[in-house]
Amino acid sequence: MERRHALARAIGALTLAGAALLWLGACGEDDRPASWSYIHTAIIAPSCATSSCHTEDNAEAGVDLHSIESAYTILVGKACESNNPPGQALRNFVSPGQPERSALMYLLIGEEVPRQMPPDRPLPDGDIDLVERWILEGAQCN
């Protein structure tokens, strides 16, 4: 009898732990918005616009990603406020709707480029997936 109660408690604990994991998974990275404002604030600014990389004062390779406006213009080839279709983005960083033609994706995953970005600590896969989703959805300035 005691053995049965111990088994029932163990099953109850596993069920509770499983439910907690499902809940945490449901609130995970996939629920983050694929919006430019979120991507710049949560991914680009802290990972790329650091003191030694792509800031206003030290724009490595001429790429300034410190502000949401300048980063968007450089990556997409048009200003956020512009209603015009994107032009040719500097070095084809982002081709809206086409991550496979976007140099930014190759830099982030470190494929077919001399150096992965950011060089000191690669982005987590979830962040790269979010950037890819933003590009797939048209790379809007929202």
Q: Tokens 């086409």 sit at which residue? A: 98
DSSP code of residue 84: S
Q: pLDDT by residue (tens digit) across 104-122?
A: 999 999 987 788 899 888 9
**31-60 mean pLDDT:** 91
pTM of the model: 0.73
Task: Give the chain's length.
Answer: 142
- The residues, ordered by sequence, that sit 6+ positions from 100 with a Cβ below 8 Å of its Cβ are none
Q: What is the pLDDT of residue 15?
A: 40
Of residues 108 and 3, more confidence is placed in 108
Which one-letter DSSP state was computed for residue 11? H
Residues 131, 108: contact at Cβ < 8 Å? yes
Tell me the per-residue pLDDT of 48-103, one tens digit each, with 9 for 90 and over. Answer: 988 778 888 888 888 999 999 999 999 998 888 877 665 555 567 999 999 999 99
